[in-house]
Amino acid sequence: MASTHNLQASRLFSVKDYVCVVTGGGSGIGLMAAQALAANGAKVYITSRRQEVLENAVKSHDPKGTGGQIIALSPYDVTKKTDLEKMFEELSKKEKYINLLVAAAGISSGKAEPDADKATEMKAKLWDNETFEDWANTYNTDVSSVYFTTVVLLPLLQAGTETHGHLSASVIVISSMSGIMRHAQGHFSYNAAKGGTVHLTKLMSAEFQQLSVRVNSIAPGYFPSEMTAKESDENQKSHVPDEKIQEKGHVPQGRAGHDEEMAQAVLFLTKNAYVNGEIIAVDGGVLNVVAGR
């Protein structure tokens, strides 16, 4: 039985003394997650493929006065097992355990709109604008890399549960509302890959609970990132104008998601050890408008 005092938000969602790793942590949703964790006391290691992005993120978002830290690891390509092994080795030299992995590295794919009424035209639009290589690259980054990143860090995650309590260590997979809806959005390969990410989350949550490691996923809607805005500013932040979201016609909230809204989801899944195998859509209500599966 908890006292009322113990139900304060500052207690419920404190991650003081947590050690976290965020892939794709130099920008977009990965950086939002890193900031949220560091702001609430965690030591957060971020990695991505670009050294300058990591350095700029650390410099621009130092969580002074919070007790947390954002620390750049070496740059790694999460689609390469050799890089993932090196990442594990680097982390193992610095830490005895980690409490959280946020798998936020991901890419989109080329657009091929299925908007023709005649099959010959539909074939041309899709056949001529997509390749097996593009599909494989999207799948490798958005699905396979999530799996291998999680697997390589399992020993450190299990050690985190041993220090902080049963099923306290976890993985948060950043999937997408695109992996839940039936609308292709002009990129079959990305939506199919994110559907794979969603199901991978469920598979890993069931199989890795024997190690006392939870796995959940956040399925974001439109959040500012290099994927949605095509660029980042000098602070590694992106901006999506409200008008761009409103013209889509299927976002009840009428705007892109805010950093704070992603932070709330990250902290909830990090701290609630009674949640495992869940896909949390943070999408501004899109899936109430666009058909899900």
Structure-block tokens of residue 178: 């695109």
In whole angstroms, give the CA distance from residue 162 to residue 166.
7
194 has catalytic annotation: yes
Sign for the pseudo-dihedral over CA of 279, 165, 18, 145? negative
User: What number of helices (H) and strands (E) belong to the chain?
Assistant: 12, 7
Residue from 43, 194, 237, 271 carrying the catalytic annotation: 194
Q: Report the run of H or E that residue 173 belongs to, with start and end.
A: strand 170-174
In whole angstroms, give the CA distance from residue 51 to residue 72.
9
Return the biggest CA–CA distance within the chain: 67
248 has catalytic annotation: no
Residue from 109, 168, 170, 175 carrying the catalytic annotation: 175
Distance of CA 64 to CAs 43, 72, 260, Å?
12, 16, 18
For 103, phi and psi rounded to 5 degrees?
A: -90, 90
In whole angstroms, give the CA distance from residue 96 to residue 79.
25
Structure-block tokens of residue 83: 């890089």
CB 282 within 8 A of CB 218: yes
Residue type, 127: W
244 has catalytic annotation: no
Structure-block tokens of residue 181: 């809806």
Structure-block tokens of residue 146: 């999530």
- Looking from the CA of 148 toward its CB, the CA atoms found within 13 Å total 19
Residue from 18, 45, 97, 190 carrying the catalytic annotation: 190
**Euclidean distance between the first and the last CA atom of the chain, given in angstroms as a whole number:** 39
In whole angstroms, give the CA distance from residue 292 to residue 185.
13
Instruction: Give the catalytic positions in this structure.
Output: 175, 190, 194
